[in-house]
Amino acid sequence: MIFLPKSDKVVFYSILPLVIGVLGFFITVGFFMLHQALPSFMRFGVDLLVSSVWSPAEDPGREVYGLAAPFLGSLYVSALATLFALPLSVALTFSTTEILPRHVAGLLRNVVEVMGGLPTVVYGLWGSLVLSPYLRDSVMKPLHNYLGFLPIFSCRPITGYSVLTASIVLATATTPYVTALLIEGYGMIPAKYKEGILSLGATRYEVFKLLLGLLRPYVIASSLLGFSRALGETTIVALTIGNAVKPTLCIFDPTHTIPSLIASQFESARLYTYALPTLFAGGSLLLAVSLGVSYVGIKMIYTWRGRIHV
Amino acid sequence: MSGDGGKSSKALTLVLLALVAASFSVAMYFQALNLMRTAGTSTTTSTASSVLTSTSPAATTRPWGSVTLSGAGASFLAPQMFEWSRALTETVGLRVEYQSVGSGAGRDMFFNKVVHFAGSDPPLSRELHEQYAGGVMQLPVVVGSVVIVYNIPEVPEGRSICLSSDVMALIYRGDIRYWDDQRILDVNPDLRGVLPHQEIVAVHRSDSSGTTSVFTAYLNKASPEVWSKGLVGFTVDWPVDAVGRGVGGKGNEGVTQVVKTTPYSLGYVELSYAITQRLPTAALRNAEGVCVKPTDQTVLNAVRNSTAFLPQSPLDDWSNVLPQMLNPPGRDSYPIVSFSYIFIYRTYPDRAVVEALREFIRWINTEGQERMVPGYLPITEEVRRVNLKAIELLEVGGT
Amino acid sequence: MSRNLLARKLKNYLMTSLTLLTSALAVIPLASILHAAIVEGGRTLLEAGVNFLMELPPTPLSSSVGGVAPALLGSVLATSLAIIISGPVAFLTAFLVTEFPNSIFSKAFEVVVRSFSGIPSLIVSMFVYSVVVVRMGTQSLLAGSLSLAIVVLPYTYVYFTSAMRSVPETVREAAMSLGMSRFQALRHVYVGVSRKYILTGVLMSCVRAFGDTAPLLFTMGFLMNSVFAGLLQPSNSLPVLIFAYALSPYEVFHRVAWGATLLLIVIYLTLFSLTRGLLRGVRL
């Protein structure tokens, strides 16, 4: 910061207190969570992470909790959602930047933005009432019947509330965010690259493919940020995942994510001694993972941005 | 690039200002509406007429002044509380607001003095009751009941299956696998040949709920050798899930939805959901060995037949009431019934609040009991008499 | 035409079509959502008419659907307050972080704030409950707005940083070469160039605040027997109302919940298209 001109320094130092204030505030919230979670960490230790039970009792001595299922569920569902969202986002980016005529592209972009802003309650209700019965009858049952020998399709789809349903709805809701990031990154590639490629007589697809190659770190970073956002989504998942405390690999099984566990158990958590601290422990765990993933993602974006503008 | 910066940022500011201004003028409008409403002014404004006509008896002396009582807690109580609070506003002029956040959260708000009263499915535990001895009153205000809904296409309309607590416990443990299991047929001799050889899907609540706690407490009381104490609570580690035939639904709504769309399933829900969703409900074999369908009458019989055990004061320990009420004696008693409670303090520093609570308690134990929402049943005379003692016990005093 | 070129053109054609198809797939859910909301909610809105905006919500024994006035007003006020609180903070911090990306504070801020957009907002609700509500002794519109402001801050911030970054490097350099200070450049150039993004950001944050349930659950209270009680008194909101009513067994409650959902969508789409229309006008 020593090399900045004086007027810039004034700007920097006048806003800095605000930045530090907000930063401090969010760190306080983080500590608040950890503080609330402490009794649970002290009581259950490592068991909290490796076992999966949710067994409250009025007598604190008989309470047992383990977050393995919801924690793995969170990672699994968010990873699947990101996996589904990525091709959609890349396709939307290609369509709006290279293929479609300008006004159609603008329209599509608006539609995607509309989707990005829709309240998550709406997605959740749609997922549980419209999508899950449809998925159960037209997707899960055939897949289970023909490909049931694969572990991920091995369980019988009973209700439609499942890992698959939750990840698809989550992917739908995350796509606009990842798309926005990708379009932003795509726009950041200096024009000279595209001009260069075009002057060699490349087709549109080839241009996009080459530029996408250039964009690869950015794509990975956007996926990480999308993943991190999917991790914390509560409403959608709570309404579509089926809420069962059972670790599973099969995508037709119901399971839990940490936010859906919080949403389901919060109502009576305060009736018990360790239930609420355990929910907070889950929240802290989620925050830690989310912080880590976001950090890597953002770092990648910064590095890439520095490299591309040479 | 388009437009010059100044112009467009001005446009931006304008849009923002317009949004803010619009929202505040809307606010003012509604507040005006509201003021007119509380003042009881009769106006002829056409659009808002229905809001305005329902004015309270103005000018009569109200010892509680303009206090709004706030309560929070059990979601089970919410529809009945919504009904009561509206009626209270319209007939007596006392404003009560209730929010459904769950028994646990409601209790926390109550003990933190964020709300005046709490709604709770379970009464205070023995330990908590001792801790607050003499300070907190518990009033059972409605009777609820848990019913078993099922979806078996083969059972014709007009006939219903009967289940015993042993059979249900074995189903939820995963030990009874098919609908034509001998143990089910033993209870339903007339359905032999009707019940199909199909796997039973057992549906339960996935979120924590008072309904689960009542249902599992019943299984434990009626069939202790099949359903152990460890499987009782707001959330249960369902053994049937482990064998892949158990499914969780979120809320009563979720359970009814799953049962509706899943052939050969059964689930437990509150009576109101069975009534409004028109699902077939199972008869249950009660303590005298009679199969009884859930109706207003059979549920009330159950409450009446168990009142001998009830505490005689709101200040007493109510923690043992639920197990005593379940599976009560009497040939016509439906076996799964429970109370929902409200908690209030014995003393409040504000006189207006005390007066408001007195009126609230008087009203819900008298007129309020005639305004029951489908699925909720009024408490018996005897319980009302106990509840009304709270009016005398309430005092103005330090926190 | 050489075979090679033909193959490349064919591939281009194939991949373009595939991309368009995939893009279509991505927006199908929106159509499905709108369809469901219009079919279910439309009936309620038609039945209740304009009174839906002005009457108190029904009780289970009510014969008519009534309205959602307390929830609508509560939502509008809480959202406005939340944006008024979080908007300026997000704007200034976004400015600092995009202008001085190499500062250690910027990096830390970016990571921490972006991560907080990922935690369950229920936790924020619990924080505000313990810190504000318990101390004030009552739930209130103000506490709800604070909770919402904290939840939307990261979103507003992310939108504002993209807005700042949408300013092309050339414009940035041009502004600097005119000898503008950073504040001058921000006021006269960046805001103009990126206004579309800023407005979108404000709007999206509004919508996000308007549609979020969890932050209000323990902080805002519930109100159904009067339309408005005061800033420091409990209030109601559309999403909490939808949740409370959608999960109940009563048909009249379900109808209100669907009506409120459609209302939420209609308000959102109106705001969205209005802003777009206005922007197009400015551009000319």
Using a CB-CB cut-off of 8 Å, the residues of chain A touching C132 are: none
Tell me whether residues C96 and A205 touch, CB distance under 8 A.
no
Using an 8 Å Cβ cutoff, are C148 and C78 in contact?
yes
Tell me whether residues A159 and B250 touch, CB distance under 8 A.
no
Tell me whether residues A232 and C119 touch, CB distance under 8 A.
yes
Show which subunits contact A, needing at least 3 CB pairs below 8 angstroms: B, C
What's residue C279's pLDDT?
A: 64
Using CA coordinates, name the residue in chain C closest to B21: C80
Work out the pLDDT band at B29, boundaries 50, 70, 90. Answer: low
Mutate to test the interface with B, among A248, A271, A274 (most CBs of B within 10 A): A271
What is the average pLDDT score of chain B? 84
Work out the pLDDT band at B399, boundaries 50, 70, 90. Answer: low
DSSP state for residue B199 in the 8-state scheme: B
- Tokens 């005897």 belong to which residue? B382
Across chain A, how many H-helices and E-strands are there? Answer: 14, 2
Tell me whether residues C112 and A23 touch, CB distance under 8 A.
yes
* Separation of CA B189 from chain center: 35
Q: How distant is the Cα of B290 from the closest Cα of chain C, in angstroms?
A: 29
Using CA coordinates, name the residue in chain C closest to B47: C51
* Three-class DSSP labels, chain C: CCHHHHHHHHHHHHHHHHHHHHHHHHHHHHHHHHHHHHHHHHHHHHHHHHHHHCCCCCCCCCCCCCCCHHHHHHHHHHHHHHHHHHHHHHHHHHHHHHHCCCCHHHHHHHHHHHHHCCCCHHHHHHHHHHHHHHHHCCCCHHHHHHHHHHHHHHHHHHHHHHHHHCCCHHHHHHHHHCCCCHHHHHHHHHHHHCHHHHHHHHHHHHHHHHHCCHHHCCCCCCCCCCCCCCCCCCCCCHHHHHHHHHCCCCHHHHHHHHHHHHHHHHHHHHHHHHHHHHHHHHHC
Which is more confidently placed, B60 or C154? Answer: C154
For CA atoms A301, A302, A303, A309, give the dihedral sign.
Answer: positive
Question: Largest Cα–Cα distance of chain B, in whole Å?
Answer: 87
In tens, the pLDDT along A96-110 reads 988 888 888 888 988
Using a CB-CB cut-off of 8 Å, the residues of chain B touching C227 are: 30-31, 33-34, 37, 51
3-state DSSP assignment of residue B77:
coil
State mean pLDDT over A183-211.
Answer: 85
3-state DSSP assignment of residue A15:
helix
What torsion do the CA atoms of C144, C146, C147, C152 make, to the nearest 10 degrees? 120
Q: Which of A114-123, A151-160, A198-207, B170-179 has the highest mean pLDDT?
A: B170-179
- Tokens 């229309």 belong to which residue? C277
Strands (E), A2-161: 54-55, 64-65
Residue B260 amino acid letter? K
Residue A262 forms contact with C (CB below 8 Å) = yes
Tell me whether residues C272 and A113 touch, CB distance under 8 A.
yes
**Rounded-to-integer distance, Cα B97 and Cα C222, Å:** 7
* Separation of CA C113 from chain center: 17
What is the average pLDDT score of chain C? 85
Rg (CA), chain B: 25
Q: In degrees, to the nearest 5, what angle opens at C-alpha C253 toward C-alphas C247 and C255?
A: 110
CA distance to A166, A226, C159, per residue, from A184 (Å): 27, 14, 11
What's residue B19's pLDDT?
A: 67
In tens, the pLDDT along C186-242 reads 777 777 777 777 887 888 788 888 888 888 888 998 888 888 888 888 889 998 888
Tell me whether residues B26 and C224 touch, CB distance under 8 A.
no
* Separation of CA C237 from chain center: 14
Strands (E), chain A: 54-55, 64-65
Using a CB-CB cut-off of 8 Å, the residues of chain C touching A298 are: 107, 110-111, 114
Using an 8 Å Cβ cutoff, are B107 and B120 in contact?
yes
pLDDT at residue B189 tops 70: yes
Percent share of chain B, pLDDT over 90: 42
Using an 8 Å Cβ cutoff, are C106 and C96 in contact?
yes
**Rounded-to-integer distance, Cα B325 and Cα B302, Å:** 7
Tell me whether residues B97 and C217 touch, CB distance under 8 A.
no
Using a CB-CB cut-off of 8 Å, the residues of chain B touching C228 are: 27, 30-31, 34
Q: Taking each helix axis as running N to C, give the angle between helix C251-283 and helix C3-48, from 0 to 180 degrees, rounded to the nearest 10.
A: 130
Q: Which of A258-262, B114-118, B373-377, C253-257 has the highest mean pLDDT?
A: B114-118
Q: How distant is the Cα of C222 from the closest Cα of chain A, in angstroms?
A: 16
Show which subunits contact C, needing at least 3 CB pairs below 8 angstroms: A, B
**Rounded-to-integer distance, Cα B373 and Cα B257, Å:** 22
In tens, the pLDDT along A40-72 reads 999 998 888 888 888 888 788 888 899 999 999
Q: How distant is the Cα of A174 from the closest Cα of chain C, in angstroms?
A: 11
Which residues, listed in sequence order, are joined to residue B95 by a DSSP beta bridge?
B68
Tell me whether residues A264 and B122 touch, CB distance under 8 A.
no
What's residue A84's pLDDT?
A: 95
Using a CB-CB cut-off of 8 Å, the residues of chain B touching A162 are: none
**Rounded-to-integer distance, Cα A218 and Cα A215, Å:** 5
Using an 8 Å Cβ cutoff, are B356 and B391 in contact?
no
**Rounded-to-integer distance, Cα C106 and Cα A23, Å:** 10
First CA to last CA distance, chain A: 21
Using a CB-CB cut-off of 8 Å, the residues of chain B touching C80 are: 19-20, 23-24
Q: Which of A243-247, B390-394, C120-124, C197-201 has the highest mean pLDDT?
A: B390-394
Work out the pLDDT band at B274, boundaries 50, 70, 90. Answer: confident
Q: In degrees, to the nearest 5, what angle opens at C-alpha B71 toward C-alphas B271 and B138?
A: 70
Token representation of residue B103: 């028994």
CA distance to B202, B204, B268, B302, B303, per residue, from B326 (Å): 22, 19, 15, 8, 9
**Rounded-to-integer distance, Cα C209 and Cα C78, Å:** 8
Return all residues near B74 (Cβ < 8 A) that are at least 6 apart.
B100, B102, B103, B106, B119, B120, B121, B210, B340
Using an 8 Å Cβ cutoff, are C233 and C34 in contact?
no
pLDDT by residue, tens only, chain C of 284 residues: 577 888 888 888 898 899 899 999 888 999 999 998 899 889 888 888 888 888 888 888 888 888 898 999 999 999 999 999 999 999 999 988 888 888 888 888 988 888 777 677 878 888 898 889 988 888 999 999 999 999 999 989 988 888 887 777 788 888 878 888 777 777 777 777 777 778 878 887 888 888 888 888 889 988 888 888 888 888 899 988 887 888 788 888 888 988 999 998 888 888 777 777 766 654 43
Question: Largest Cα–Cα distance of chain A, in whole Å?
Answer: 76
State mean pLDDT over B219-224.
Answer: 92
What's residue A67's pLDDT?
A: 92
SS3 content of chain B, % helix, strand, coil (to 5): 45, 20, 40
Tell me whether residues A99 and C96 touch, CB distance under 8 A.
no
What's residue B60's pLDDT?
A: 56
Residue-wise DSSP of B272-322: HHHHHHT--B-EEE-TTS-EE---HHHHHHHHHHHGGG--SSTTS--TTHH
Q: How distant is the Cα of A183 from the closest Cα of chain B, in angstroms?
A: 19
In tens, the pLDDT along B38-55 reads 444 333 333 333 443 344
Token representation of residue A195: 């001009």
**Rounded-to-integer distance, Cα C160 and Cα C162, Å:** 5
Return all residues near A238 (Cβ < 8 A) that are at least 6 apart.
A124, A259, A260, A263, A264, B250
What's residue B42's pLDDT?
A: 36
Give burial (CB, 10 Å; 0-12/13-18/19+) of A130.
Answer: middle
In tens, the pLDDT along B287-330 reads 998 999 999 899 989 988 887 778 889 999 998 888 888 988 88
**Rounded-to-integer distance, Cα A244 and Cα B248, Å:** 6
Residue B127 amino acid letter? E
Tell me whether residues A119 and C211 touch, CB distance under 8 A.
yes
Using a CB-CB cut-off of 8 Å, the residues of chain B touching A53 are: 237
